[in-house]
Structures are given as C-alpha cells and as structure tokens.
Amino acid sequence: MLESAIAALAALRSQDAGPLSQGLSAENAAACLHQAIRPLNPTSLRAAVEAAGPIPPAIAIVVSSGVFTTPIEWTAIAVSAGCSVHLKAPASDPALCRALAEVFTANGADVTWSISRKLPPVDAIIAFGGDQSVADVASANPTVPVEQYGHRFSVAWVAGDPIAAAGPLAIDLVRYDGRGCMAPTAVFTTGDPHVLAEAIAGQLQELEQRFPRGAVDPGLGPEWRRRLGLARVVGSSWTGSEWAVTVTPPKYFTPAALPRMVNIHPASSIDELRTILAPWRPWLSTLGTDADGISIDGVHRVCRLGWMQAPSIPRHHDGRPMLYGLNRPPGG
C-alpha cells in the first residue's frame, strides 16, 4: 500500500489548504501543508513502518483540534503498513480528516472518518488531546490498547548569536500560528534578551507580510493583554498588528503559547533552564536550540531552531517510535 499512500499524499498536496487548516491564513496553511507532506516519501515511510514494528490490521486515530496536519503522517505510515484507518475528527472542524479520507480512499486505501465519539471496531487506538480527554478515550475502549498522547509543550534555548537565531525562531513561532505541542511557548537565552527580542520582532514583521496570522480565538485576548501588561511593568515589549515580543524574568514563564507572541526569559545557564523546567517534566516535548549536546530530563526531542514544528520521518513521538507498541494487551 506504499504506492497508494504516496499517490494520496500527492493528491492532498494539490488541494487548497486554507479551508482545511482550522483558521490559518491561506498562505500559512499552504506552507504548513507542504512542510507536513514534504518528509513523507517511499524511503522515509518504509523506515517508519520498520521502526513501528508489528501494527494491527485496523486502527483508529482520535484527532484533536489545533495543528490541522497532525493525522497526515500517522495515516500515511499506517496505510503504508497495510492498515485500515478510522479518523475521529475534531467536531469543531473536520475538514482535513474528511479530505484525508477522500484522497486515500480514491487511491485504494481503507480510510474512513466521522465526528462521532463512538468508534467502529478496531484493534488499537491512537488518541491525541488533553490529558483527561485521552484518558477518557482509554476508559471508553477497555478492550483495545490505546496509545495516549496528552498535553505537551516545548521551549527554545538560544546560547549563540541572537541575530542568527532570530530568523529560524520566527519560523517556529509563525508556523501553525503557535498551535500544537511542538510550538515554542517561550525562549530562554544566555545572551542579551533585548537584542534577541528586537531581532525576532523584525523577523515577525517581515513574515507577517508573507504569512499573515489567521483567525484568533477572542477568548485569548485577556491572556494576551495580561502578558503585555506584565512585560511593560517588569520587562520590555515590542508589538505589531499581528505579533508581540516580551522580555520578562524567568519566574514569569508560562507554559502555554499564544498566536504570534513570544516570551523571552534570560537564563544564566542550561542548568538554570533545567531547574525552571523540572516541575513540568511530565509535559515536556521539544527543545529547539542553536547549541550542541544539550539534554534536559523529560524532553523527548531536541532539534535545531526553525525545525521545532517540522519533525523528520521516521521519528519518535513522546519518546517512542510512531505507531510502536499497538499490539500490546489492552491497558498494558
């Protein structure tokens, strides 16, 4: 089924990404769709199938809202392994799951979708969402193994030239408008945070013209204003029509991203960053950095700046190969 997966991905790539993107601008949606499909080729898909090990014949993927491309790579790997796939789409915007099922079905694969929480009979489930929501999926399906991918967040670490770091960091911030577990919730640096902030502000202003920000949940307005107000009192801030950059002490770190807002915190060393992140260890995902040889307990993936939201294939997700372990006993 590898050829079917490749043909389906090509068909998906040719579609207008805007209506599939859960509110991103047309330009950003197209860039994100291209980036999500780009690493999926015959070589990488074969390697991902091999890394996954035995995969059951029928799986369901419970898709959360946010990063609209999330199910693409998982579906492509599963189909390449010969699996049938059911996509439980986010009820708020199922467009991508619908399109994914259509292009795979048209190319001979068995891929279905619905917004119903009642899943069809399957041999295993992959669930994305908040910690409680993925636990609820497992509780509702006690007879099959459920791979739970709950809440995670990521940060960036800049130890070198802030001017060189600003461009790649801005890409990480713009991609998907800061949605998803791999988006940088904050940037920590040993350098001058104001130099870094000014450089990122310039990059965000330029990228605003190429990749405008999409729809923003009005409910995020109070938190946006709170962070800006805090920065004006205890730090510094730079703002544009669609973006903001703040510099505040690290004690004000908040592990939640806002669309096109970056919070920069000075840190004396990587050991200080490890101390700051220690209470959040169970929820860590990715560290984007310009430094070599960095490791932090709980971080499952370390990558170069500019690639936080663009992982390679094959890869690990939350510390294990994608689709690995789906043949284990329920609850195991």
Q: What is the pLDDT of residues 124-167, one digit of tens each?
A: 999 999 999 999 999 999 999 999 999 999 999 999 999 999 99
Pick from 140, 115, 230, 227: which is nearest to 178 by CA? 227
Q: Where are the alpha helices (DSSP H) in 141-262?
A: 162-174, 193-210, 221-234
Residue 14 in contact with residue 287, Cβ under 8 Å? Answer: no
Contacts of 175 (CB under 8 A, 6+ apart): 28, 31, 32, 35, 183, 309, 310
| Residues 54, 192: Cα–Cα separation, whole Å | 49
Q: Tokens for 118, please give them.
A: 């009642």
pLDDT in tens, 305-321: 999 999 999 999 988 89
Output 276-282 pairs: Cβ under 8 A, ≥24 positions apart: 276/188, 276/250, 277/155, 280/153, 280/255
pLDDT in tens, 47-78: 999 999 999 999 999 999 999 999 999 999 99
| Peptide bond before residue 279 is cis, with ω within 30 degrees of 0 | no
> Which of the four CATH numbers 3.20.20.80, 3.10.20.740, 3.30.750.24, 3.40.309.10 does domain 153-304 have?
3.40.309.10
| Whether the predicted pLDDT of 196 surpasses 70 | yes
pLDDT in tens, 17-26: 999 999 999 9
Is 0.85 surpassed by the pTM of this model? yes
327 — pLDDT class (breaks 50, 70, 90): confident
- The pLDDT, as a whole number, for residue 325 is 82
Residue whose token pair is 């609209």 = 68
326 — pLDDT class (breaks 50, 70, 90): confident
| Residues 112, 2: Cα–Cα separation, whole Å | 18
pLDDT in tens, 167-181: 999 999 999 999 999
Q: Which residues of 205-231 are buried (b: 16+ CB within 10 A; e: fewer)?
A: eebbeebbbbeeeeeeeeeeeebeebb
Residue 281 in contact with residue 302, Cβ under 8 Å? Answer: no
Q: Where do the domains of the chain lie? A: 2-151, 153-304
- The pLDDT, as a whole number, for residue 330 is 65
What are phi and psi for residue 105, nearest 5 degrees? -65, -40
Same-fold call for 2-151 versus 153-304 = no
pLDDT in tens, 217-257: 899 999 999 999 999 999 999 999 999 999 999 999 999 99
Q: Where are the alpha helices (DSSP H) in the chain?
A: 2-13, 26-37, 42-52, 70-80, 95-106, 131-140, 162-174, 193-210, 221-234, 270-277
| Residues 155, 280: Cα–Cα separation, whole Å | 12
Pairing of strands 320-321, 316-317: antiparallel
More confident residue, 212 or 327: 212
Q: Give CA separation, 208 vs 36, 101, 201, 211, 263, in Å.
A: 21, 32, 10, 5, 18
Q: Tokens for 209, please give them.
A: 């013209």
- The pLDDT, as a whole number, for residue 166 is 97
- The pLDDT, as a whole number, for residue 184 is 97
- The pLDDT, as a whole number, for residue 78 is 96
| Whether the predicted pLDDT of 331 surpasses 70 | no
Mean pLDDT of 30-51: 96
Confirm or reject CATH 3.40.605.10 for domain 2-151, answering yes or no.
Answer: yes
- Relative orientation angle of helices 2-13 and 70-80, to the nearest 10 degrees: 150
| Whether the predicted pLDDT of 89 surpasses 90 | yes
Mean pLDDT of 262-268: 97
The type of residue at 172 is D
Report the 10 Å Cβ neighbour count for 287.
25
- The pLDDT, as a whole number, for residue 329 is 65
- The pLDDT, as a whole number, for residue 80 is 96
